[in-house]
Each structure stands twice: as C-alpha cells, then as structure tokens.
C-alpha cells in the first residue's frame, strides 16, 4: 500500500510535491467512512482510495505518469538503458532542465514501511536511498551519491556483500544502474522485498496504451480470469454469455460454436459470445464478435480495466487509473470506488488511486476529506498538490462538490465567455 509519493522537477512539477495517502486523524462525517482506513505500522494508517481533481492541464496526468515512470525505471533500469529518456524535467524556468528529477515512494510491504527514492536525469542517477521501519523508528539502509554507496551494516549487512560481489571491470555500479536493481539480481532479501512492493503498482493511463492492452489480453487467456471478468461485466449491466480468447486451446470449439470467424479477427484477442434463439432452426445458438471491432468504446475500456481491477482486489495490489471517468457512467465509477472501500468486497486491502473530473464522487457520504486531493498550476506554470483535509475551514458535512465547482477550493478552470472570431 502506498503511503506517499513525492515528485519534483518532472514535467509540470518543479518543486517537490507530495501526494499523501496516509489517513489523517480528522473525524469523518460518518463512522462507516473509517472503512477506508487500513492500520499499517508505527501508528500510520493508509487510505484504500484516493481521488485527485484539477482543471485540464493542471498536472494530474503528469503526477500519475511520474509514478508510472518511477515504477518502470525501478523494474527496467538495467535491462533497458534508454528508459531514462522518459525523465522530462520542468522546462518553464530556464534552470530546472539542468537539474535532476526527484522521485520518492513510501509504501508498506509485508509489515515493513519502506521509503525508497532517487534523483535522476536522462543520463544517470545522481543519488539513491532506502530507509525502512517496522515500528516507530526509521533506519537508513543505504545512501548513494553518484556511484558511491554507504550502508548501515546493523540493519542491512547484505549491502556490503552486494558491493563486494561487483567486478570493477564488468559489473561496477554504473551511473545509469540502480543499486536496487543490482541487489535484486544478487538476490538480496531486503531489496527483493522492496522491488516486490513496487511491482504491485499498476498504472493505467487515460488512453490505454498497447502495453496495458497486451497485459489485459494476456490475463484473459486464463479461464478463471475470464470467468471473474464475465461476472464483473454482468454485475455492471453488460450482457454477455461468454468471453472467448482465440489463443486458448479450449476456446477453439467455442469459436466454432459461436460462429466467430477467427480469420477476420486480425489483432482482436477478446471475443464476446451472445446466446440467441434461432427462429429458423428453432434452437439456442451462439454468435460471437470481436470486442475491439464491435463493442462501444466504453465497453472496450471496461473489458480492459476489469482484469486489473480483479487482480488488485484478489492480490491486494495498487491500481492507479488516469481519467477514471472516461467512458464510464458516474454510477459505475462510484460503484468501483465503493468496492475498494468496503471491507467485504476488498478483504485484502487493495488500493485504488484515480484522477478524474467526475465531481459526483465528491459526495461527503462517500469520500473522507483526506481521500480527496487537488492539483493546480501556480502563476509560474508549476503544479502543486494539496488535500481537501489541508484546508482548515472545510467541515466534514460540507457540500464538497458544490464548493469545489464554485471555486472555493480552487483547482478549477478559470473560464470566461468563449468566443471564436478571426
């Protein structure tokens, strides 16, 4: 579970800003809203759901893109040397482009709270650090400056062993390698645990890219995943009798039965099969068609989101979705939020983080004040983050949607009358 994510000098973020997912001690309007809170360690509690609002161009997508970039760099810094090109600094002050980007993630994994981060540009890592605690006291595990790393032998004896195992001529810590990644390769228990926690984070953009689409389609090869996805889709009102994956051997007969011509599917890997009564043959039959070519954009998005939602719920993972409201009815958006909040539907404490414009979710009988964040740009074009709970005068029974739209919390577009003229 993510406790906080800090980002600085990345795209629209200049100064370091922190997206906080730790619960505050402010009393919610209703006691059942405490279902959103999960006790962690050392008196910290995390939030199962956090929702970010802001005007178009405020930096919401950059925040989530920053988290995705952080996760990708952690997982691929050694295998893909071009991965650092994803690091884009703030470009609107003439100075920040010459400085490194800052990333830090504080998260809970297996009853340990880790605080891991690094400073990086498109060429190299400038610094890297890991702190951890299983109680109230936090300990430094390692700190890196350039290619030099120091360790706390008392809590991290593995560190010096990893360092000594490096061949200076071949495997020395390179400027574009993370010590974290090298530690995982050398099977460090601590760093493998850190990477496992980071790897539980999945970020889905507003436009589902090819990588996410492929992951969803691969997940649906599994019959159990299709069964659960089918149940999920039916619960939200999408009528479909079967989901068929043409690359799964057991589905070949179903494809024939559903009269779906695999030769015309192209790159489509998800087939909806619908039962109907054939008036001519007087029998119940099936007809199938590819989701990508025949279903609405909203249904396509739901089919691709469903495997990630289900996986997060079942495994207690972190799911991050940009433009959450895109092609989703507001009632469905709320139902998904509620599924992550309520204990019986989220027993493994999965976490959902979304950026959205759906102000219906701002209802004070749904989200606590600390579950709502705002992103806005200041006069110099830099993005800033603050939570609704940071605003002192906001009561827990206020009409948050009305107040937000009226500009009381800022983070809304400043629009005058629109006129198009030559």
pLDDT at 174: 84
- The CA R_g of the chain, rounded to the nearest whole Å, is 24
| Average pLDDT for runs of 10 along the chain of length 422 | 98 98 91 93 94 96 98 93 94 96 98 97 97 94 94 93 70 83 94 98 90 90 93 92 85 75 62 89 87 88 95 97 93 96 97 96 92 96 96 84 87 83 79
Q: CA 159 to CA 319: how far, in whole Å? A: 31
Quick one: tokens of 145? 């400056």
The CATH fold assigned to 2-200+316-405 is Rossmann fold (3.40.50)
* Residue entry with tokens 């074009």: 381
Alpha helices (H) along 80-222: 158-165, 179-185, 189-199, 210-219
Enumerate the β-bridge partners of residue 369.
none
Closest CA relative to residue 185, chosen from 110, 79, 81, 107: 79
Quick one: tokens of 123? 């060429």
* Residue entry with tokens 């980002």: 7
First and final C-alpha spacing in the chain: 53
pLDDT at 253: 75
Burial (CB < 10 A; 0-12, 13-18, 19+), residue 25, is: exposed
Q: What is the pTM of this model?
A: 0.94
Q: CA 11 to CA 66: how far, in whole Å? A: 8
Helix axes 189-199, 158-165, angle to 10 degrees: 100
Where exactly are the structural domains of the chain?
2-200+316-405, 210-300
Where b means 16+ CB within 10 Å and e means fewer, 302-329 reads: bbbbbbbbbbbbeebbbbbbbbbbbebe
Quick one: tokens of 118? 């690094």
Q: How many CB atoms lie within 10 A of CB 64?
A: 24
How distant, in Å, are the alpha carbons of 16, 177, 313, 327, 335 from that of 330?
33, 44, 21, 9, 9
Q: CA 241 to CA 130: how far, in whole Å? A: 49
Quick one: tokens of 236? 């939200």
Task: Confirm if 365 and 341 have CB atoms less than 8 A apart.
Answer: no
Q: CA 366 to CA 29: how far, in whole Å? A: 10
Estimate to the nearest angstrom the gap between the alpha carbon of 315 and the chain centroid: 15
Half-sphere CA count of 100, side-chain side, radius 13 A: 17
């Amino acid at each position: 579970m993510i406790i906080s994510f800090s980002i600085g000098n990345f795209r629209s973020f200049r100064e370091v800003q922190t997206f906080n997912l730790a619960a505050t001690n402010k009393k919610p309007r209703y006691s059942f809203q405490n279902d959103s809170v999960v006790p962690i360690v050392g008196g910290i509690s995390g939030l199962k759901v956090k929702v970010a609002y802001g005007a178009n161009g405020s930096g919401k997508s950059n925040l989530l893109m920053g988290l995705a970039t952080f996760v990708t760099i952690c997982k691929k810094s050694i295998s893909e040397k071009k991965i650092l090109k994803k690091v884009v600094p703030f470009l609107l002050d003439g100075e920040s482009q010459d400085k490194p980007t800052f990333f830090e993630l504080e998260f809970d994994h297996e009853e340990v709270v880790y605080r891991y981060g690094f400073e990086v540009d498109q060429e190299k890592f400038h610094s890297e650090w890991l702190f951890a605690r299983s109680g109230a006291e936090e300990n430094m595990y390692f700190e890196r400056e350039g290619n030099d790393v120091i360790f706390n032998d008392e809590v991290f004896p593995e560190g010096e062993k990893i360092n000594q195992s490096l061949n200076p001529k071949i495997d020395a810590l390179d400027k574009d390698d993370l010590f974290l990644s090298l530690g995982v390769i050398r099977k460090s228990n601590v760093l493998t645990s850190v990477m496992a926690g980071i790897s539980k984070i999945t970020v889905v953009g507003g436009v589902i890219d090819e990588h996410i689409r492929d992951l969803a389609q691969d997940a649906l090869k599994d019959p159990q995943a299709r069964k659960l996805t089918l149940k999920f889709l039916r619960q939200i009102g999408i009528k479909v009798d079967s989901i068929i994956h043409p690359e799964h051997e057991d589905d070949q007969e179903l494809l024939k039965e559903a009269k779906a011509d695999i030769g015309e599917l192209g790159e489509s890997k998800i087939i909806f099969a619908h039962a109907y009564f054939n008036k001519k043959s007087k029998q119940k039959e099936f007809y199938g068609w590819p989701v990508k070519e025949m279903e609405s954009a909203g249904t396509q998005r739901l089919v691709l989101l469903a495997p990630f939602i289900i996986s997060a719920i079942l495994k207690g993972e972190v799911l991050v979705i940009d433009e959450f409201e895109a092609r989703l009815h507001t009632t469905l958006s709320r139902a998904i939020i509620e599924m992550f909040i309520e204990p019986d539907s989220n027993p493994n404490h999965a976490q959902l983080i979304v950026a959205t414009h759906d102000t219906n979710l701002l209802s004070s009988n749904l989200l606590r004040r600390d579950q709502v964040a705002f992103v806005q740009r200041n006069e110099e074009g830099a993005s800033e983050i603050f939570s609704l709970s940071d605003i002192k005068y906001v009561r827990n029974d206020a009409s948050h949607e009305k107040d937000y739209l009226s500009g009381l919390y800022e983070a809304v577009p400043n629009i005058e009358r629109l006129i198009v003229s030559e």
